[in-house]
Amino acid sequence: MKLASGILYTERQISQRVGEMAGQIARDYAGKTLVLCAVLKGSIPFLADLMRLLPGDVRLALIEMKSQVDGKHAKILFTSSLDLAGQHVLVVEDIVDTGITLDYLLKHLEVERAPASIRVAAFLDKPSARKLDVPVHYRGFSVPDKFVVGYGLDWQERYRNLPYITWVEPE
């Protein structure tokens, strides 16, 4: 696979859109404590940019998820012992594609952690790949059915550092 020569979203477009999302989230959670539950590793740039733009009491919980071979189950590891019971939780995702992993995470959080509310902020959404209907309350950009990289998203741990979104294609 090689890096494509085109750019889907520039650094400037990303910055502008994250700012717009932060504004909407700030309005929706005004006066409330918000817990950002970020799914590692791809969401880190989005998380960092988003949380710096959110006013008020914002807390952080990091989640590491490992998908199983069958693609239907995932192992969830919280890297924080933060109690989510009764809290307003915003799951911060890099990309939602099939929806399988996100569906599993949301069900786990609702049952095991009992938050007061739970919503999803996804930097990228790939609706053409969706296998399960999952909620995406705050959406950065929709992307075509390509293997996108950059701004935290990777291909074999490469290209996460790119400040823009592009894709990889077969050589």
Predicted confidence (pLDDT) per residue in 83-141, tens digit: 899 999 999 999 999 998 899 889 989 988 899 999 999 999 999 999 999 999 999 99
Predicted confidence (pLDDT) per residue in 30-57, tens digit: 999 999 999 889 999 999 999 999 999 9
Q: Output phi, psi for 138, to 5 deg.
A: -130, 120
Residue 69: pLDDT band (50, 70, 90) is: very low
The Cα 60–Cα 63 span in angstroms is: 10
Cis before 41 (ω within 30): yes
Answer positive or negative: Cα dihedral of 9, 136, 108, 78: positive
The Cα 27–Cα 45 span in angstroms is: 22
Q: Which residues are catalytic?
A: 97
Smallest CA-to-CA distance from 90 within 50, 135, 38, 53 is with 38
The Cα 157–Cα 50 span in angstroms is: 23
* 61 pLDDT more than 80: yes
* 66 pLDDT more than 70: no
Domains, the chain, in order of start with CATH, read 12-143 (3.40.50.2020)
Look at residue 68 in the predicted model and tell me its pLDDT: 54
Residue 73: pLDDT band (50, 70, 90) is: low
The Cα 98–Cα 130 span in angstroms is: 4
